[in-house]
Each structure stands twice: as C-alpha cells, then as structure tokens.
Amino acid sequence: MKKVTLIPGDGIGKEISQATLEVLAAAKAPLDFDVVMAGQEAYEKEGAYLPQRLLDSLDESRLALKGPVMTPIGQGFSSINVQLRKKYDLYCNFRPIKAPGPLPLRYEGVNLAIFRENTEDLYAGLEEEVSPEEARSIKVITRQASQRIARAAYDYALRSGRKKVTIVTKANIMKKTDGLFLRACQEVAQDYPSIKTETLLVDNMAMQLVLHPETFDVILTENLYGDILSDLAAGLIGGLGLVPGANLGRDMAIFESVHGTAPDIAGRDMANPTAMLLSACLLLDHIDQKDLAQKIRRALYQVLSDKKNYTQDLGGSLGTRAFTKEVIQCLERMD
C-alpha cells in the first residue's frame, strides 16, 4: 500500500473527496490515505491554514491528493496553494485537457497538455503598497526555472508521442522577463528536434484556442498565463468539473483539480467529481499503477457517454452521490 496524504479541502472539496475515495476503494487502489485538513476548515478548527500535521504528513508521504482550498482574497495572506508549491518546489503544473467521452460540445478533438511554470512570475508574492493610492507587483522569471519547466514539457511531448509545443508569452511587451522565458524555452527546444516548436503571444493564443483548439498540442507557458489559459481550455471541453492537474517537483507530487472550492454549489450535492477522479488517475499513473488508472478512466468515460448521467454543470441533473454510484457500478461490471 502506498501512503498518500489526502487533503479534502473546503467548499465542494469534501463531497468530491468522498466520491473519489469511494471510487478508489471500489477499484481496489492500493493506497493508504492519511486524511489531513488544510484551508478554511483547518483555520477554524486548528488556527492555521496549513497545520503542522499536514506538513509532517507531506514530508513523510511525498505524495498527495488535494481538494480545493479557500484562500482569503486580498487580505495580505499568501495563497495556500502557492505556499505549498513554493515550499516543496513543485515547479511543474501539468494540466491535460481532453473531453472525457462524447460530450455535446461545440469543439471536437481538443486534446491539450498545458505545462505551467508553478513557482515564479507574478506569483512570487513580491507586492508592495507604495501609498494608499499605488501598489506594485514584481514579476520574477529565471532561466533555471524556465528551462526546467521547458524540459518537463518537451520530455512529456517526446514520451507521449506529441508533435508540437507552443510557447506562450507576452515577450513583445515584457521584453526582459517574458523575453528571458521565451529564450530559455527556445534553447531547450533545440535538444528536441523531432518536436515542432511554435511561439505565440498570449492574447493571440486566447483567440486561437477559441477558434481552433484542435490545432494545439502541448502548451508551455508562465504561471499567470497558464492559470488563465487552463480555465479557458477547460471551458472548451465542458467546464472546470472535468479538468485534472498535477503539481510536480523533483521528489514530491500533489494532484488536484484545476477548479476551486465552488462556494456557489458547495454542500448541495451538485459538484462534478470527475476532475478530482481524473486527478487521482494521474496520481495512479505517477506511481506506476497505469492499468488501474486506465480502468477508472474507462468507467468514467462510459458513464459520461450517457447523457442521463450528466451532472448539472454538463447540463444534466445527476447529483454528486448518484454520479459516483454510477461510476462504482460501472467499475463493478468491469470486474
């Protein structure tokens, strides 16, 4: 059994974590979960957004499945996610975006892999209030961090038979920071001659993704652009309820959905647990349980191939619990 730290999280986090645990149990995943709180609930019960017990568990397991957590907005408190990514140097944020099953969408053939640099950029937390009327934020880009995310993207492209990497920046305006990111990525690209490299400015990229998403393959970009483009890309395949993610470091990995705590639907049995289930599948891939991950994906895709199983975000009416039951029954039929 592999030890995994499970952070249920806030808002819909508990509901989708429960659903994920039930599906993993039905699939007989060899995972031993240490359930630890973080975020708002942890703050209310233990007086800390990131309790020491969580850090101890992560130090031991080096592997986590995480629900979304609430960070107070605009109160001078650094985001819990950003803190975790920095503390454990989880430099690579990987977000595969592919419609699970034949969803009724305007876009066909979307199959993107976004590689977002996860430790620098405007997320460095270097903000200052110059006066009550003026505030500043410093953007940090280094060659080392840019090259290691580029290498992660190109290695993945090579490993998974992808053809093209699109480097996305705003280097025409931020010539020094984005210019450095672009040059560093282009230097790495030279080591991968079989992979086509193209460069696009982020504003054009946003439009091209809406017009022709099927023409893109791997997207390599900075922290903020990656955050925004992955929500945009999630919208192309049916929404945030469907997109998983991985935060990868050298010897630590935290898997979590792209979406947040969805306070508008929390506690109402309305959340789509697919994104967290697919994040659990990425975790299983990571620990070489690829067959099990594929089995869970097949069950999910089968359930999502029938419109009557759609949750509300997909235009259906099934609740979180009923959807989870369908996935479990499907897994049981596969045995």
Task: State the residues that interact with ligand NAI by CB under 6 A.
Answer: 12, 68-71, 81, 240-241, 256, 259-265, 271-272, 275, 313
The first and second tokens of residue 203, run together, are: 């504003």
Q: How far apart are CA 157 and CA 164, in angstroms?
A: 8
Nearer to ligand NAI, 275 or 284 (CB): 275
- Parallel/antiparallel/unpaired status of strands 63-66 and 31-35: unpaired
Residue tagged active-site, from 10, 121, 227, 313: 227
170 part of the active site: yes
**How many CB atoms lie under 10 A from the CB of residue 270?**
19
**Least separation, in Å, of the C-beta of 230 and ligand NAI?**
10
Nearer to ligand NAI, 261 or 302 (CB): 261
Q: Are strands 2-7 and 31-35 parallel, antiparallel or unpaired?
A: parallel
| Identified catalytic residue from 49, 88, 123, 310 | 123
Q: Please say if 34 is a catalytic residue.
A: no
**Catalytic (active site) residue 231:** yes
Q: Is the dihedral of CA 171, 184, 162, 279 positive or negative?
A: negative
- Residue 49 catalytic? no
Half-sphere exposure in the Cβ direction for 296 (13 Å, CA): 29
Which of 231, 269, 285, 325 is labelled catalytic? 231
Instruction: State the minimum distance, in angstroms, from the CB of residue 191 to ligand NAI.
Output: 32
Q: How far is the CB of 261 from ligand NAI (least distance, A)?
A: 4
Residue from 156, 170, 310, 313 carrying the catalytic annotation: 170
Query: How far is residue 331's CA from residue 335's CA, in Å, rounded to a whole number?
Result: 7
In this complex, which beta carbon is closest to ligand NAI, that of residue 180 or of residue 232? Answer: 232
Cβ at position 8, least distance to ligand NAI in Å: 11
Q: Which is nearer to ligand NAI, 117 or 313 (CB)?
A: 313
Q: Which residue is nearest to ligand NAI (CB)?
A: 260
Nearer to ligand NAI, 96 or 241 (CB): 241
Q: Nearest distance from residue 61's CB to ligand NAI, in Å?
A: 19
Catalytic residue flag (residue 154): no
Q: Which residues are catalytic?
A: 123, 170, 203, 227, 231
